[in-house]
Amino acid sequence: MRGPALVAGAVALLGGLTACGDGAATNAPRPTAADRATATDGPAPTGRGTGSPTPSPPQAAAESPTAGDTAASASSSARTDGRCHSSELRARVGRVDPGAGQRNFPVVLTNVSDRTCTLYGYPGTAFVDASGRQLGPDPRRAPSAPETVTLTPGASAWSGLSFASPEISGARAATPDALLVTPPDERNSLEVHWTAGEVPVGGNESTVSVTALAPGTGP
């Protein structure tokens, strides 16, 4: 009976093929080259053109100025550039204020520039004759507490110029042609024509003194 035997053999062979088809390793599709790269190499490294920012070199932060450095720089600049220069000032001598044998004059410096500037300390002063020769010693600084005087355009600061009246003190006297006034920390002097008569230039009681600059035009 070959017919049934052949049928049985065919059924058995079909069952064996079906059992082999259930194994994943036998019929699974082969991985492509891209699949192998993904499975073995992991995520592709980030490089140029990915949009990721390039980290700054470590020294960049150290070289950037801090807020404190900026403030210090601004402060230094203000101290240097904020001073009133001789070319920005006009000098004059105010009315005499006599008292107890003394002659006292306000020496006034006015800001004639278009910017705000500052003065600090004592002005330099010297009496000179018509040829520019100094008369008498340099005036001395009277004890006082200097302060920074801020001058807006048109504002003034003053210093007191004082000496004993020569006719009372007996000091050797002369009549100057001008008073030279040098603003603090400046080299160029401002010349003011002197019209207040004799000043002491030698001998006893010939000292002339000046005070530190203060706001305003006089006492």
Q: What is the pLDDT along the chain (219 residues), one digit of tens a residue?
A: 444 444 444 434 344 434 434 433 334 444 444 444 333 343 433 334 334 444 444 444 334 444 444 333 333 333 445 999 999 999 999 999 888 889 999 999 999 999 999 999 999 999 999 999 999 999 999 998 899 999 999 999 999 999 999 988 889 999 999 999 999 999 999 999 999 999 999 987 789 999 999 999 998
Instruction: Kindly state the tokens that stand for 203.
Output: 């001998």
Instruction: Give Cβ neighbours of residue 126 (< 8 Å, ≥ 6 apart).
Output: 134, 138, 139, 179, 180, 189
Any idea what DSSP says for residue 83? B
How far CA 190 is from CA of 89, 107, 181, 183, in Å, comes to 8, 11, 5, 8
Q: Which CATH architecture has domain 86-215?
A: Sandwich (2.60)
The per-residue pLDDT for 81 is 55
Q: Are strands 178-182 and 172-174 parallel, antiparallel or unpaired?
A: unpaired
Q: Are strands 190-193 and 178-182 parallel, antiparallel or unpaired?
A: antiparallel
